[in-house]
């Protein structure tokens, strides 16, 4: 499929992918782009199991032997594992930065590969176009870079990507971009979030370029007004500025903790707070998508074996890894003979430096009574009302 007159999409859509780095997804794509100029260039590659389709896509447009350069923006295997075959079949020179080369040398037998090592702001003249390489370390590996083409195309690798399987190649072709934005937020929350402090400097660097298309390594291509929109979203998502929103996340064994969760939700809604309720069966990336821009994080767990409920413990470990910050944290739960779960939740809140709001009314023995649920609703109302006054 053409992106522009002499730029083609030659990647592969993975319709059956349902997991990526431990996150639940509904398909993805491994995007690669072919530039036809005086020199013929491939931008990024695909997972090795899709190499036959990948090389067939290229061959429909050009004899692979005529490719001069393969640009590797990032060494991770979802982009690089087919390089061994691609280099052998094309004989092309591999263009990359020194960190990416270091990684590829450790991952593959690169003895017979021909390399061109570039650094930030170095360029490659391929005819009518000039390609400029811009290092973007920690978005999301130390080796990441993007490639900017003088015809206004930014090949952004993982930045601005989405795990999205679709026959459409442009974001505006699906729900006016709505689906792509949702999946981009999902991707940001599960992949980019721990490194969001580096996003601002990258966006500042990119602001000096005229960008007509953003071509990421996963998902759909951004064009038109959606370019400014996705750049704005990245700035917003990396800013840690919360909405007046609460995420209530809970695990439950006999529905007692669930009843507390819904009572808290009633109170928060009455105080004008937007509420999202999720349980431990929800995919982690969907949880992080909602939690990323929330002001309040309320986590509930029953006590099990004088400890926290294991599915809740798993969510806490993801919180510690992905590090959403600047939240108000509340722990709640039900218990039998001894209450132990909320202490574990608060330990995670302390590690993330959350403002902690604690109340004994949220630790309920066995089945919550009507009066105890009323107290939970009142706690939620006060929590939302107090913050709104601030």
CA neighbours within 13 Å on the CB side: how many for 220? 26
For residue 344, indicate whether it is catalytic: no
Question: CA triplet 307, 311, 312: central angle to 5 degrees?
Answer: 65
Task: Name the phi and psi angles at 210, rounded to 5.
Answer: -80, 115
Q: Check whether the bond before 293 is cis (ω within 30° of 0).
A: no
14, 44, 68, 76: the catalytic one is 76
8, 84, 140, 148: the catalytic one is 140
Dihedral sign from CA coordinates of 48, 51, 54, 58 = positive
Task: Name the phi and psi angles at 276, rounded to 5.
Answer: -120, 125
Instruction: Give the Cα separation of 92 and 90 in Å (integer).
Output: 5
For residue 21, indicate whether it is catalytic: yes
Closest by CA to 78, choosing from 47, 52, 48, is 47
21, 225, 321, 326: the catalytic one is 21
Phi-psi region of 21 (alpha: psi -120 to 50; beta: other; left: phi over 0): left
8, 68, 74, 151: the catalytic one is 74
For residue 186, indicate whether it is catalytic: no
Reduced to 3 states, what is the DSSP secondary structure of residue 167? coil
Q: Determine which helix (DSSP H) or strand (DSSP E) holds 303, and give its type and residue range.
A: strand 303-304
8, 9, 187, 213: the catalytic one is 187
Instruction: Give the Cα separation of 221 and 174 in Å (integer).
Output: 11
Task: Name the phi and psi angles at 214, rounded to 5.
Answer: -115, 115
Closest by CA to 256, choosing from 373, 379, 382, 343, is 373
158, 290, 293, 375: the catalytic one is 158
Burial of residue 244, with CB atoms counted within 10 A of its CB: 0-12 exposed, 13-18 middle, 19 or more buried? middle
Burial of residue 145, with CB atoms counted within 10 A of its CB: 0-12 exposed, 13-18 middle, 19 or more buried? buried
Instruction: Give the Cα separation of 288 and 237 in Å (integer).
Output: 12
For residue 78, indicate whether it is catalytic: yes
In sequence order, which residues have a C-beta less than 8 Å from that of residue 45 and are 6 or more positions away? 30, 32, 54, 70, 72, 79, 80, 81, 82, 83, 86
33, 183, 186, 218: the catalytic one is 218
For residue 140, indicate whether it is catalytic: yes
| CA distances for 275 relative to 264, 298, 364, angstroms | 10, 10, 22
78, 151, 258, 293: the catalytic one is 78
In sequence order, which residues have a C-beta less than 8 Å from that of residue 80 and are 6 or more positions away? 45, 72, 74, 104, 107, 108
Give the residue numbers annotated as catalytic, written as ranges.
21, 74, 76, 78, 140, 158, 187, 218
């Amino acid at each position: 499929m053409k992106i522009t007159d002499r730029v083609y999409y030659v990647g592969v859509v993975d319709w059956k992918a349902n997991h990526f780095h431990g996150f639940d997804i509904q398909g993805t794509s491994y995007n690669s782009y072919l530039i036809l100029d005086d020199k013929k260039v491939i931008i990024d590659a695909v997972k090795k199991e899709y190499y036959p389709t990948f090389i067939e896509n290229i061959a429909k447009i050009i004899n692979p032997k005529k490719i001069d350069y393969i640009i590797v923006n990032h060494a991770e295997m979802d982009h690089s594992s087919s390089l061994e075959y691609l280099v052998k079949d094309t004989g092309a020179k591999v263009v990359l930065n020194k960190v990416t080369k270091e990684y590829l040398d450790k991952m593959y037998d690169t003895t017979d590969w021909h390399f061109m090592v570039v650094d930030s702001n170095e360029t490659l003249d391929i005819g009518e176009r000039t390609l400029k390489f811009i290092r973007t370390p920690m978005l999301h590996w130390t080796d990441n870079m993007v490639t900017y083409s003088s015809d206004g195309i930014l090949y952004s690798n993982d930045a601005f990507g989405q795990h999205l399987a679709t026959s459409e190649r442009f974001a505006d072709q699906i729900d006016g971009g709505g689906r792509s934005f949702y999946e981009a937020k999902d991707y940001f929350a599960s992949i980019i979030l721990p490194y969001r402090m580096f996003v601002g400097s990258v966006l500042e660097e990119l602001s000096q370029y005229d960008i007509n298309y953003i071509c990421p390594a996963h998902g759909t291509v951004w064009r038109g007004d959606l370019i400014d929109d996705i750049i704005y979203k990245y700035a917003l998502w990396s800013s840690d500025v919360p909405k007046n929103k609460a995420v209530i996340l809970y695990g439950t064994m006999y529905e007692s903790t669930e009843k507390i969760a819904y009572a808290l939700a009633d109170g928060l809604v009455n105080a004008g707070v937007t509420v999202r309720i999720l349980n431990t069966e929800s995919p982690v990336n969907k949880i992080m998508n909602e939690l990323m821009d929330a002001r309040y994080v309320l986590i509930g767990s029953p006590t099990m074996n004088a400890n926290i409920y294991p599915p809740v413990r798993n969510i806490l470990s993801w919180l510690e890894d992905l590090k959403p910050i600047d939240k108000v944290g509340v722990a709640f739960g039900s218990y039998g003979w001894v209450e132990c779960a909320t202490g574990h939740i608060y330990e995670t809140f302390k590690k993330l430096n959350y403002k902690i709001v604690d109340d004994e009314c949220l630790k309920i023995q066995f089945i919550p009574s009507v009066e105890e649920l009323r107290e939970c609703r009142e706690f939620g109302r006060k929590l939302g009302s107090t913050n709104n006054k601030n």
